Amino acid sequence: MTTDHLRETGKRIYWPSPQDYSEAVQTPRASFADEELRAGAVETTPLGLPRCMSGNFASVFCFRSQTRKIAVRCFLHNVPDQQTRYSAISKYVLSDDLPYTVPFEYLEKGVLISGDWYPILKMEWVDGVTLNQFISENLSSNAALKLLASYFKQMTLELRRGGIAHGDLQHDNILFSRGLSSQLASTEVSIDRFNWPYPATSTSTLVIYPNVSSSPAL
């Protein structure tokens, strides 16, 4: 096994698929090195299969431990400098005071599949709705949409003051959590496309939606 967890079979470079991850999470004691995940259980569908949310970048599973819900993000691609990037972002969000970020751990020895270990992200599970879902649910409420615009502007300004940028603030990467009053309570942004102060020469390795890649200053 190479250091970047790639295994070459003929001309094919192997990396786990969503199905590979779905099979692995069903046996946490055999598939994880992290003790909390080993003792937890993956959330399942009515058919008893792992509930999985997959995108272009990762498959995400919800685990329940004795005390909390955990998001386990399993990568669908090998990204150059992945460990360096996520370690730096993790260090930043653990020390910042922003209400928009969720602390997480990058586990290099994350999940075991076909005899090889692959990295994962382990973080607190956040319940909420995506940006497009929130807008769809509140199209008839001018007050809710104005509040959304106000929170969004506040978030981007505070991220700027913190010296970080997300780089892809599109609808699927923004999650709104709600309070008991069903009012907009807080905003969470995904970490996949964060840019951070270190290293200064680092560039993004991901392609983002062209419609949101360049926006005027708020």
Secondary structure class of 3 (helix, strand, coil): coil
Structure confidence by residue, pLDDT tens digits, 67-103: 999 999 999 988 777 788 888 878 777 777 777 777 8
- The predicted structure's pLDDT at residue 56: 79
- Give the per-residue pLDDT at 155: 81
Give the model's pLDDT for residue 185: 40
Long-range contact set of residues 99-102: C-beta below 8 Å, sequence gap at least 24: 99/186, 99/187, 100/155, 100/158, 100/159, 100/186, 100/187, 100/188, 100/189, 101/188, 101/189, 101/191, 102/126, 102/188, 102/191
Phi and psi angles of residue 27, each rounded to the nearest 5 degrees, phi first: -125, 70
Query: In the prediction, which pLDDT does 44 show?
Result: 96
Q: How far apart are CA 100 and CA 190, in angstroms?
A: 9
Rounded Cα–Cα distance for residues 70 and 61 (Å): 8
Q: What is the pLDDT of residues 23-43, one digit of tens each?
A: 999 999 999 999 999 999 999
pLDDT for position 115: 94
Count the neighbouring beta carbons within 10 Å of the beta carbon of residue 31.
Answer: 18
pLDDT for the residue numbered 60: 93
Q: What is the dihedral of CA 95, 101, 102, 107, to 10 degrees?
A: -70
Q: Give CA–CA dist 133/127, Å, rounded.
A: 13
Measured in whole angstroms, how far is the alpha carbon of residue 3 from the centre of its chain? Answer: 23
Query: How many of the other CB atoms lie within 10 Å of CB of 77?
Result: 11
State residue 167's pLDDT score.
Answer: 66
Task: Provide block-wise average pLDDT over 10 residues at a time, the chain (218 residues).
Answer: 45 78 97 96 96 88 94 88 80 76 88 95 86 88 88 83 72 66 41 47 46 43
